[in-house]
């Protein structure tokens, strides 16, 4: 998990956990609060996973929280495929893909109006059901929603649309976390060049890589090696005592 200062293109903190659970995020945010000290971020950009939303609400509730539109579009493309024979899926996909083109509150209102218009024309399809001819339950024939992916795409765009437009009122906040995605992409590429490492080795490798990305000058590099030597010396002293 990587926490990045987008404005200054600097990774503030990183950690390794088995999963993105709330407890993992809570431990990280406690450290991040200490690192930031009196410096306050302009806001937060995330992929809007539940643990992240809850963690930000508990530790940075005073900051505006933007949902990454790149992640939204990625999910929208998954549930609303490009090569679909259905005009209603095509139309909802076009609305979803136009999300990143919204630059003002007026355009945001127009975008929402398109969703309302879509709902008036095709909303009944979201409730359409298909009944099994062979399987039954205690309450009758087994059924499922006919357009399950369409429902998922609709919920993605309508369940909570306020976080889509936080950046419109806060000019310092981008509408995506592409900056950190670039870091992730580089990390994956580097790991791909060193195949065969087990998980602990991969974690150590990435920690060193992220550490060295913070060294912009020779002086920074000397500080990093000085810190490492101090930590290593302390560990050796502890081992001697025990």
Q: How many CB atoms lie within 10 A of CB 95?
A: 19
* pLDDT < 70 stretches in the chain: 232, 234-242
Looking at residue 212, its pLDDT comes to 84
The H-or-E segment that residue 96 falls in is helix 87-97
pLDDT tens track for 164-204:
999 999 999 999 999 888 898 888 898 888 888 999 999 99
Looking at residue 81, its pLDDT comes to 95
Whole-number average pLDDT of the chain: 90
Looking at residue 9, its pLDDT comes to 86
Burial class (CB in 10 A: 0-12, 13-18, 19+), 178: middle
Q: What share of the chain is helix, strand, coil (3-state, %, to 5)?
A: 60, 10, 25
Cα–Cα distance between 84 and 82 in angstroms, integer?
6
Looking at residue 240, its pLDDT comes to 61
Looking at residue 241, its pLDDT comes to 59
Question: Does residue 198 come out as left (phi exceeding 0), alpha (psi in the -120 to 50 range) or beta?
Answer: beta
Looking at residue 137, its pLDDT comes to 80
Looking at residue 238, its pLDDT comes to 66
As given in the structure block, the two tokens for residue 172 are 């310092």
């Amino acid at each position: 998990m990587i926490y990045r200062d987008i404005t200054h293109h600097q990774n503030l903190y990183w950690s390794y956990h088995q999963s993105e659970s709330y407890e993992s995020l809570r431990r990280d945010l406690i450290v991040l609060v200490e690192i930031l000290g009196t410096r306050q971020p302009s806001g937060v950009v995330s992929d809007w996973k539940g643990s992240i939303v809850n963690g930000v609400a508990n530790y940075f509730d005073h900051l505006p929280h933007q949902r990454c539109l790149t992640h939204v579009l990625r999910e929208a493309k998954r549930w609303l495929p490009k090569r679909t024979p259905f005009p209603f899926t095509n139309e909802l996909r076009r609305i979803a893909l136009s999300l990143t083109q919204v630059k003002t509150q007026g355009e945001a209102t127009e975008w929402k109006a398109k969703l309302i218009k879509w709902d008036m024309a095709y909303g009944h399809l979201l409730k359409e059901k298909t009944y099994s001819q062979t399987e039954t339950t205690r309450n009758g024939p087994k059924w499922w929603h006919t357009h399950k992916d369409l429902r998922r795409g609709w919920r993605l765009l309508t369940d909570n649309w306020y976080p889509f437009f936080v950046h419109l009122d806060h000019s310092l906040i981008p509408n995506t976390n592409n900056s950190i995605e670039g870091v992730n992409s580089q990390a994956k590429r580097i790991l791909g060049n060193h195949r065969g490492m087990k998980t602990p080795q991969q974690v150590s490798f990435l920690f060193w890589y992220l550490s060295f990305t913070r060294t912009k000058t020779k002086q920074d590099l000397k500080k990093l090696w000085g810190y490492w030597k101090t930590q290593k010396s302390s560990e050796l002293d502890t081992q001697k005592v025990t």
